[in-house]
Structure 1
Amino acid sequence: MKLKILPYAIGTSILLSASIAQAGNISIESWREDAAIWNDVIIPAFNAKHPDIKVSFIHTNATDYNSTLDKKLADGTAGDLITCRPFDDSLKLFQAGYLTDITELDGMGNFPNFAKAAWQTDNGAQSFCLPMASVIHGFFYNKTIFKELGLTPPKTNAEFYSALDKVKASGKYTPIAMGTNDKWEAATMGFQNIGPNYWKGEDGRLAVIDGDEKLNEPQYVKVFEQLAKWGPYMGEGYQTRTYNDAIAMFGDQKAAIYPAGSWDIAAFNTKLDLGVFMPPVEKADDECYISDHTDIGVGINANTTNKKDAETFLKWMTTGEFAAIYTNALPGFFSLSNHFIDVDDPTAKAMIAWRDTCDSTIRNSYQILNRGEPSLELEIWDTSVGVINGTMTPKDAADRLQKGMDAWYKPGE
């Protein structure tokens, strides 16, 4: 005698089987090309404490990540954990109901407010992604060239330009390895690198959001005045030099200084004797500020069928153990937690130590101020390039930023 199985029973059986198959299995969606680090280092460390939870890492090309993730979330096929880009990209996912509110997750207290702000609602009331890593801005330098020319890492603007003059006078090396062809490089490694020392970090960034300060005030003009001095030190043809060209130039030891993001540490630390100094201040006793930019977070898919295990993994990511493992496995990507971390890579160790003496802030165009037209981020690209190339005055550049904001941004609304 054959048993009849009704259609609804088949469906129930399939769902039950799927549920059983998923128990103890979670996956992480990411744009980062570091699957080997997760599979060989991070996940085994987690499994040492939680051997019953199988974790898989799913990579999507960075340029396709947002669109691919949106489709997967809409289709219900996204992973249990979602690697989050900072601010609006992830905020939109939370507002659409795709990310879980993790405000009360155990371990959230291990992260400073500026770090959590990248993955919170505008009023700071709800958190939807755990802060994972930041990147820090500064300047790389070739220790061999500095020693040859009798230079020491500069701390003030006067010392910075003195070093550049000596490199240029040697006739052997280009002082600064950077170009303006790719625009974002001039803005990110130029404007956002040195700017926090002028607008006083978080205080200045939040003052613009609140409407208490404007982008054409003297502190912003001063940033552009510094960038206007860089062009003569960047060597012939810098206007067509790309980001990759600049990396090759510094890596081949043809230039002394590279305005840097810490993510580039791995590109150089096996090619030359790499040193690093923080953005120079105007006077030796000035307070210092660094761009310690929130770059990567992790959230829980609101529609996961295995929330318990996803939360277990996320809670582990709040620990000092994860902070140390991640920071050392990926030099230049720094845990955003408050835990003390013993960093192995010497350049990364030097950069993370700046947190002990300087206040951290994030790029000032990323939270709230980039939602309208014209885009503040793109305006900073164009103005930074214009000032370095000498086609725009510092005052005109600052006025253009504020004019763009006035076109759409109304503080408090």
Structure 2
Amino acid sequence: MKRTKLTAALLASTLIAGAATAQDVTLTIESWRNDDLAIWQQQIIPAFEAAHPGIKLNFTPSAPAEYNAVLNSKLDAGSAGDIITCRPFDASLALFEAGHLADIGNIEGMAGFSPVAKSGWSTDDGSVQFCVPMASVIHGFIYNKDAFDELGLEEPKTEAEFFAALDAIKADGSYIPMAMGTNDQWEAATMGYNNIGPNYWKGEEGRLALLAGEQSLTDEPWVAPFRQLAKWGDYLGDGYEAQTYPDSQNIFTLGRAAIYPTGSWEISGFNNLADFEMGAFYPPVQNAGDTCYISDHTDIGIGMNAATPNPEAATTFLNWVGSSEFATIFANSLPGFFPLSDAPVTLEDPLAQEFISWRDECESTIRSTYQVLSRGTPNLENDTWNASVAVIKGEESPEDAGARLQAGLASWYEPQQ
């Protein structure tokens, strides 16, 4: 009798343990955002696990510079996590084409994203989506409100107002008009050309026309932003040619410059460094009443390892990433990284709220060089860096810069031939 009871008890305990094991699934998340570890551990993971008992999350980031190599090695070895954090465009597209990322276009969580939002993690024809868009960064100008108040300046809405403000700041002499250097090159293109450019080429209209070969980089909408950049050198301060990106950040946050051409990714860091009130304005349009366009650039997404043994749990998590709850947590934990879904979100940071409010006023696009156009040699993204620098420094005319970029693109990209 005792033996029968013991056997029954052991059987029952085995069944209970088996049920718990079957229910409790741990999803491992690969990412390059090691600076986000505390946010995942303290906010995102507890919120998900509270709403989804039985699914645990294990966030295991790699160093950003090592992520691509580490991830590819794990995927090839079959040891990668269930969830893959996705860089935009070609790096993630290559993972999908290699069979490492699952097609998740039909999951419920993808329903609230526009084609522009999904463009960073779609096949070239837009027919397949392989990562849920998590966040974008928005380009524009951050400014020192104290400096503007001292000089009686208002946020410029048009180019004429923009240059009038720069002239007034320069004439006063108390502040460098704009903090941006050309030493590291990428800022001139990212915070210069691709910041102001969408107002000229009309955002997605021009970008898609360039992809289709219906416009070229020698057309006026693509040369005109260089003409504006050619004027910037007069306002960047002495020695801007040798000024690095960290130098520019320091110059602005120390209160030595009035305007900082940039993107929303700076908000968190600047909030901790600047002891003055900051404001932001979107790239000024050519004429009052013109439609404004902003670079609302897809920055980070998240997808499913095609080889995960836990596809149902992974789908549950990805659906949650597309929810308002996740968007609100992520956006307020990382001010300046904005949700891409149409789920309602309330932002607590006033500067972040200013940036995201531009979506209601302006048309959104992404950086012109990031989809398809930088796959060949010469690389259009890198060429746009050095062309923007050369134009700012007066070493190349806007027309010559456009012609050089067009020749490089046409040398390998068939629609431009």
TM-score, with normalisation over the residues of structure 2?
Answer: 0.93
1:157 partnered with 2:165: no
Letter aligned with residue 169 of structure 2: V
Spell out, residue by residue over 1:5-41, the C-alpha distance to the aligned partner (whole angstroms, 9 max, x if none). Answer: xxxxxxxxxxxx9x95995101111111211111111
Spell out, residue by residue over 1:330-368, the C-alpha distance to the aligned partner (whole angstroms, 9 max, x if none). Answer: 100000001221111001101101001111000010111
Instruction: Give the equivalent residue in structure 1 for 2:310.
Output: 306
C-alpha distance in 2, partners of 1:159/1:412?
Answer: 36
1:344 partnered with 2:373: no
Letter aligned with residue 305 of structure 1: P
Give ranges in structure 1 of 5+ residues lacking alignment. Answer: 1-16
C-alpha distance in 2, partners of 1:144/1:117?
Answer: 39
C-alpha distance in 1, partners of 2:174/2:106?
Answer: 57
Give aligned pairs, total.
Answer: 396
Question: Sequence identity, in percent?
Answer: 56
1:29 partnered with 2:33: no
Deviation at 1:193, TM superposition (A): 0.4
Letter aligned with residue 234 of structure 1: L
Instruction: Give the equivalent residue in structure 2 for 1:404.
Output: 408
Letter aligned with residue 241 of structure 1: Q
C-alpha distance in 1, partners of 2:95/2:22?
Answer: 27
Spell out, residue by residue over 1:106-158, the C-alpha distance to the aligned partner (whole angstroms, 9 max, x if none). Answer: 12110011111111111111111111100000000000010011111111101
1:126 partnered with 2:128: yes
Distance change in 2, residues 1:252/1:21 (3 Å): farther
Instruction: Give the equivalent residue in structure 1 for 2:338.
Output: 334
The 8 Å contact of residues 23 and 54 in structure 2, kept in 1 or not, is answered as: no
C-alpha distance in 1, partners of 2:349/2:43?
Answer: 17
Secondary structure of the 1:110 match is coil
C-alpha distance in 2, partners of 1:263/1:164?
Answer: 24
The 8 Å contact of residues 156 and 280 in structure 1, kept in 2 or not, is answered as: yes
C-alpha distance in 2, partners of 1:294/1:88?
Answer: 13
Runs of 4+ in 1 over 4 A off after TM superposition: 19-23
Instruction: Give the equivalent residue in structure 2 for 1:257.
Output: 259
Instruction: Give the equivalent residue in structure 1 for 2:397.
Output: 393
Letter aligned with residue 24 of structure 1: V
C-alpha distance in 2, partners of 1:21/1:340?
Answer: 35
C-alpha distance in 1, partners of 2:23/2:265?
Answer: 35
C-alpha distance in 2, partners of 1:352/1:309?
Answer: 32
C-alpha distance in 1, partners of 2:344/2:360?
Answer: 11
Alignment of 1:256-405 (within 5 A): 256-270=258-272, 271=274, 272-405=276-409
Instruction: Give the equivalent residue in structure 2 for 1:187.
Output: 189
Say which of 57, 60, 85 aligns to 2:59: 57
1:112 partnered with 2:111: no
Secondary structure of the 1:385 match is helix
Instruction: Give the equivalent residue in structure 1 for 2:231.
Output: 229
The 8 Å contact of residues 22 and 306 in structure 1, kept in 2 or not, is answered as: no
Spell out, residue by residue over 1:154-186, the C-alpha distance to the aligned partner (whole angstroms, 9 max, x if none). Answer: 111011111111111111110000000000011
TM-score, with normalisation over the residues of structure 1?
Answer: 0.94
The 8 Å contact of residues 136 and 262 in structure 1, kept in 2 or not, is answered as: yes
C-alpha distance in 1, partners of 2:245/2:21?
Answer: 49
Letter aligned with residue 47 of structure 2: A
C-alpha distance in 1, partners of 2:103/2:144?
Answer: 45
Give ranges in structure 2 of 5+ residues lacking alignment. Answer: 1-17
Instruction: Give the equivalent residue in structure 1 for 2:137.
Output: 135
C-alpha distance in 2, partners of 1:34/1:296?
Answer: 13
Letter aligned with residue 263 of structure 1: W
Instruction: Give the equivalent residue in structure 2 for 1:14.
Output: none
- CA root-mean-square deviation: 1.5
Letter aligned with residue 166 of structure 2: L
C-alpha distance in 1, partners of 2:200/2:253?
Answer: 30
The 8 Å contact of residues 23 and 306 in structure 1, kept in 2 or not, is answered as: no
The 8 Å contact of residues 22 and 305 in structure 1, kept in 2 or not, is answered as: no
C-alpha distance in 1, partners of 2:31/2:401?
Answer: 36
